[in-house]
Structures are given as structure tokens and as C-alpha cells.
Structure 1
Amino acid sequence: MESRMPKRRPFHRLPVFPVLLAQLIVLLLAALVAWQALGSVAGYSALLGGVIAWLPNLYFAHKAFRFSGARAAKDIVRSFYAGEAGKLILTFVLFALTFAGVQPLEAPVLFGVYLLTLLVSWFAPLLITKFSRP
């Protein structure tokens, strides 16, 4: 019996890649708007809030969607659990490091862009599906 490696997709070919790209664009635009409207502290607070939401999602996407095919079903389930656990831990660590190490910080802006970035992941699939149809 031969041991086969499960089929892996390149990261840019994952179905979640457009959502991650949309999140990155929104977080960068929100940080730029906050920087221009509210000042530099709000700008980097917004950037940190977006990155705190985006990096764990990037990690989850890497872990959860790296396998495909029916033969890799157990690996897919295992990687989803590992990805979600890692995402939660990474989110906690990034928030802790930000609040412990970054001063001054505008917490309302940080949490606002964090939530905005998470909202993009809820609505981006609808937009991407709508605009990708011929």
C-alpha cells in the first residue's frame, strides 16, 4: 500500500483568497481614513485593529483550506479544528500584545476597524459571487 500525500492547493487558488484580499483592502482604507480624519494615533490604532482581525483569518485560511479531495477528509476536519483553535489563540495574543505594548492607543478606533474587518468576511462572499458572475 503506497502512502500518498493529500492534494494541496496553492494559497492564491483557495476559495477564501478573495475574501482575505477584500479584508486587507478594507482594513488599509479604514486605517488611511482614520489617519486623515482623526490623526496618526487613530491611524495606527485602526491599522492594528484590522491586522488583529486579518492575521488570524489568514492563519485559519492557511490551515483549514490546504487540503482538498475525498481522500483527505480526515485531514480537512483536523485542519479546520487546528485552524480555528490557532485563530482564537492568535487573536487573544495579538490583542494582549497590542494593549500591553502600544501606547498611546485609541481603543474605540481599534475595535471599530477590528469589527469592520470581521464584517467584511460576512459580506464579501455575497459581493464576490454577485460580481464574479458573467
Structure 2
Amino acid sequence: MNNKPLNTKREWDEIEEDSFKTLSKEEMDALRASKPRNFSSINSWWVVLSQVAVTLVIAGACFVFSSQADKSVYTYSALVGGLIGFLPSALFLMRIEAAKKSVKRSPGGFLAAVVSGEFIKILATIVLFIGFALKQPDLKWIPLLVTYLATLKCYLLAWFWK
């Protein structure tokens, strides 16, 4: 490991120049043509749809594998956990879609939409957790939290789909 400090401006400039290369439009088009998968994007609604699917799978597993007396409460708890996972995500995406359709499309406006969308998402998650905890005291927290965390992991699936 080199612990030598960068004392001169010249050393810093040499490192900075080697760190990246600016591509021309032709080079960028050639790169896109050679590796189209690296430049593709997925529809964000597929992530929300996968969250709904994971919720239904876990709720189905809770229904199948729980005892007869606890079937409904475990299944319901798993469904609530999934709802707390995917509903705020859907609200966030609706906020982003509204910003994309806005007449005033600007980078600052889109950034404001992302920030406000994240605020809506966090607020909705907190309100849903508190609301269900207060209104449904018989919920089982383990299936609820397992399903909630599984819906959060669906964001990682987007990387694998791409």
C-alpha cells in the first residue's frame, strides 16, 4: 500500500487524467451497439409487480404451512407485510410518473419529484406500520416482517433481470 501523500498538483492531475476517458458520440454509439444489455433499462413497475408476487407466494406458504387455528392470522399478517412493502413503492413510482408527464420538465423539477417521492414513501411506510400495529393488535410480526423484508429485496432482482 502506498501511503505517500500527494504533495504536488502535478501528481494529482496525473491520477485524475488516468481515472476516466471522455468518449465521443461515435465511440459511445459503438459501445452501446457492442453491449446493448448494459444500456437497457427495465420498467420500474416490474419491481412493484415482483413485490406483489413475492407477497402472494409468502402468504400462500403461510396458509399452507401454518396450523389450522392460525392459518388466517398468519396469512393476513404476511399480506399486510407485503402491502407495507409494495404500496409505498407504487406511490413513489406514481410520483415519478407524474413528474415525467409534467409540462415543466427540468432536472431540478425531477430531483424535487424524487425527493418528494422518497418522503411520501417513507411517510407511507411509517403510517402503515403504526396504523396496522394499532388497529390490528393480533397480527403476527414474524410473517409480517419477513414478507416486508422480502419485498424490499425485490429491488435487487432488478439488477439480475438487467
Question: The TM-score by the shorter chain falls in which range?
Answer: 0.7 to 0.9
Corresponding position of 2:143: 109
Residue 56 of structure 1 and its aligned partner are, at CA, apart by 0.4
Corresponding position of 1:19: 47
The alignment yields a C-alpha RMSD, in angstroms, of 1.9
Contact in 2 for aligned 1:16/1:61 (Cα 8 Å) = yes
In the alignment, does 2:61 pair up with 1:33? Answer: yes
Contact in 2 for aligned 1:36/1:43 (Cα 8 Å) = no
Contact in 2 for aligned 1:60/1:84 (Cα 8 Å) = yes
Higher Cα Rg, which structure: 2
TM-score where L is the length of structure 1: 0.78
Residue 67 of structure 1 and its aligned partner are, at CA, apart by 3.5
Contact in 2 for aligned 1:53/1:114 (Cα 8 Å) = yes
For structure 1, the residue ranges without an aligned partner over 5 or more in a row are 1-13, 130-134
Aligned mates of 1:65, 1:81 — CA distance in 2 = 14
Aligned mates of 2:137, 2:161 — CA distance in 1 = 37
For structure 2, the residue ranges without an aligned partner over 5 or more in a row are 1-41
Deviating beyond 2 angstroms after TM superposition, the runs of 4 or more aligned structure 1 residues are 64-69
Aligned mates of 1:85, 1:67 — CA distance in 2 = 15
Aligned mates of 1:18, 1:102 — CA distance in 2 = 30
Aligned mates of 1:34, 1:66 — CA distance in 2 = 37
Corresponding position of 1:124: 157
| 1:91 match: secondary structure | helix
